Chain A
């Protein structure tokens, strides 16, 4: 394995890892606010579930980039 391949692999890891961190941070904040809101208005469960799930697109996009890099790696070598 040459250094370029290694750097690409690190790049793939960073793409999904940093996106996951960002998602986690956003979900943490939405989750805590949502839990507070639910104690007062349990009927908001559906809306809060949506809001909680929204940031997950970030990690999915990160995953898409990582998958493209890995596929590039496989195609190259």
Chain B
């Protein structure tokens, strides 16, 4: 159901505005509306922040950003109950007190945490860089071992693509031209793509040799500055030692960050949230109107919370602040924010409804009907005892382990879907297809989804579809009557009657109803088409019969409940037969198991999508009035 809302006006003396906003924010049940958007006749001059408040806002925003950056650096690990108590205490402090405290925290924590974060980043960068150098140097190392280390000589390592190895002859020739025979060049293929080379030459020739490398576009291996000048073997040993030390250094930095988080994390989180709240309060001041001595706030709230708001304002702001109801005109109804409030078993389905669009305020909330039909459709498609049990098991595991509200809602939906799958599994006598029948003589309680009874399954799916669509029309008719929309009423009533007449005539053709009822059936159909054609004007004569055909296709669409279920059953049968024909039992079991797993995955996805589609397209289009704006109360950011 939709929560009944009311529009309110809060009026008080200007000096109580801050206390009023704080009370409203703590309560978290009022959505503030800009006074400028509230009815032309009642537009008041808008309030703005005074110089002191502007100065406080300019202090708060950078502080919130700094505290946010600390929160990103410091690891989590603060217990929720303590945090909530600290947040509660902070929300009672004055803005000046919060700013002073936040400045102290930023001043003390800033240099420490930033130095540690920087050190951590440097260590990780060094680790990545050394790992990269180590891989390259290892390729050159075997060559280096062959070359004696001589005083007054320099070593340069070159890595060249193997296919361009001929360039080394050119280097040798050029070196001879520059420094004669006073050098050594040794090369070796180190892997499939790389040739490594080492050049040893007198230190005094270093500039000329490097100039040669530059001219020939050869880049010698550059080592990190702290390792330059050492031999390759020494460099590799130093690198290995440093790489062993770095993880310990990183762990030390993380330890220090954890200690900082233990001492400061709570203050950072609480101050950040409390200051964000104050900043939000200042934003709301810009939405208020007022005179020299008074303020006026306009907003929406659930009617049931009015008593709590009055009490909170009396307690926290005093008797100078009053709340009054504003009558909502018909043209304003579209602006009323929408909050859904269903019973706990139905609540998880609210997000499935909101996935398309929230209902308009005052319209029917389809969530309870979706909670009834969606799992039923799902179960009819995926009717299998094994699949139902697995689904229930997964949903229960998610509910026990997961705290994320979206996943929990999905799991709650899946519990109901799993229950219906299990139930239809017993009705169809299916356990991984027909495996249950073969292994332990499972008998269907209702009918098998194979052989001659398929016809009954189709008939059941169509009957369910007809009932669902007719229910949609019945709700649509009730809605049209309620808002006195005559044209809509005529169209929906016409479709309702035409659909009944179509089934009537089908029953006559099938011999279920006597042939004498043909003429009354046709007459009913004509009445239905005439009613649904009225709102279409002169086009109704053409569009009316086409719309009737569309209604038949709406009902036929429910055949998917049987068709997709059948495909799931036959895929399970393919898996079972593959196991039967496999020469190796283990291979057969693995292949069959994988196919069953695939079948379950496809089954869950397609059963969910198809059940939702039948609701969104076939059911909702008969009555659903969407377009509600979600209710967004002004509330604390929380910790």
Contact surface of A with B, Cβ cutoff 8 Å = 45-47, 49-50, 53-54, 56-57, 60-61, 63-64, 67, 71, 74
A-contacting 9-mer, from B88-96, B189-197, B245-253, B554-562:
B554-562
Partner of A53, one of B357, B458, B617: B617
Contact B557 A50 (CB under 8 A): no
Apart from A45-B355, A57-B557, A63-B563: 10 A-B pairs, beta carbons within 8 A: A46-B355, A50-B356, A50-B616, A53-B612, A54-B617, A56-B560, A60-B559, A61-B553, A63-B559, A64-B556
Q: How far is the CB of B611 from chain A (nearest CB, A)?
A: 11
Closest to B552 in A: A61
Contact B557 A49 (CB under 8 A): no
Contact A47 B609 (CB under 8 A): no
Closest to A63 in B: B563
Q: How far is the CB of A37 from chain B (nearest CB, A)?
A: 15
Contact B563 A49 (CB under 8 A): no
18 A-B pairs with C-beta separation under 8 A: A46-B355, A47-B357, A49-B609, A49-B613, A50-B356, A50-B613, A53-B609, A53-B616, A56-B613, A60-B556, A60-B557, A60-B559, A63-B559, A63-B563, A64-B556, A67-B454, A71-B455, A74-B452
CA distance A57 to B356 in the complex (A): 19
CA distance A60 to B612 in the complex (A): 16
Contact A46 B616 (CB under 8 A): yes
Q: How far is the CB of A36 from chain B (nearest CB, A)?
A: 19
Q: Which residues of A contact B616 (CB under 8 A)?
A: 46, 49-50, 53
Closest to A66 in B: B563
Q: Which residues of A contact B354 (CB under 8 A)?
A: 46
* Secondary structure type dominating chain B contacts: helix
Closest to B554 in A: A57
Contact B553 A49 (CB under 8 A): no
Q: Which residues of A contact B455 (CB under 8 A)?
A: 71
Contact A50 B617 (CB under 8 A): yes
Q: How far is the CB of B425 from chain A (nearest CB, A)?
A: 23
Contact A47 B356 (CB under 8 A): yes
Q: Which residues of A contact B458 (CB under 8 A)?
A: 67
Q: If A46-B357, A50-B356, A67-B458 touch, does A60 touch B560 (CB 8 Å cutoff)?
A: yes
Q: Which residues of A contact B563 (CB under 8 A)?
A: 60, 63, 67
Q: How far is the CB of A73 from chain B (nearest CB, A)?
A: 13
CA distance A63 to B617 in the complex (A): 19
Closest to B563 in A: A63
CA distance A71 to B452 in the complex (A): 9
Q: Which residues of B contact A54 (CB under 8 A)?
A: 617
Q: Which residues of B contact A45 (CB under 8 A)?
A: 355
Q: How far is the CB of B533 from chain A (nearest CB, A)?
A: 23
Q: Which residues of B contact A46 (CB under 8 A)?
A: 354-357, 616
CA distance A56 to B610 in the complex (A): 9
Q: How far is the CB of B411 from chain A (nearest CB, A)?
A: 20
Contact A49 B355 (CB under 8 A): yes
Q: Which residues of B contact A57 (CB under 8 A)?
A: 553, 556-557
Q: How far is the CB of B448 from chain A (nearest CB, A)?
A: 15
CA distance A31 to B174 in the complex (A): 63
Interface mask (B597-616 → A, CB under 8 Å = 1, otherwise 0): 00000000000011011001
Closest to A51 in B: B617
Q: Which residues of A contact B553 (CB under 8 A)?
A: 57, 61
Q: Which residues of A contact B609 (CB under 8 A)?
A: 49, 53
Q: Which residues of A contact B617 (CB under 8 A)?
A: 50, 53-54
Q: Which residues of A contact B454 (CB under 8 A)?
A: 67
Q: How far is the CB of B562 from chain A (nearest CB, A)?
A: 9
Q: Which residues of B contact A50 (CB under 8 A)?
A: 356, 613, 616-617
Closest to B613 in A: A53
Q: Which residues of A contact B612 (CB under 8 A)?
A: 49, 53
Q: Which residues of A contact B355 (CB under 8 A)?
A: 45-46, 49
CA distance A56 to B567 in the complex (A): 15
Q: How far is the CB of B350 from chain A (nearest CB, A)?
A: 13
CA distance A47 to B356 in the complex (A): 6
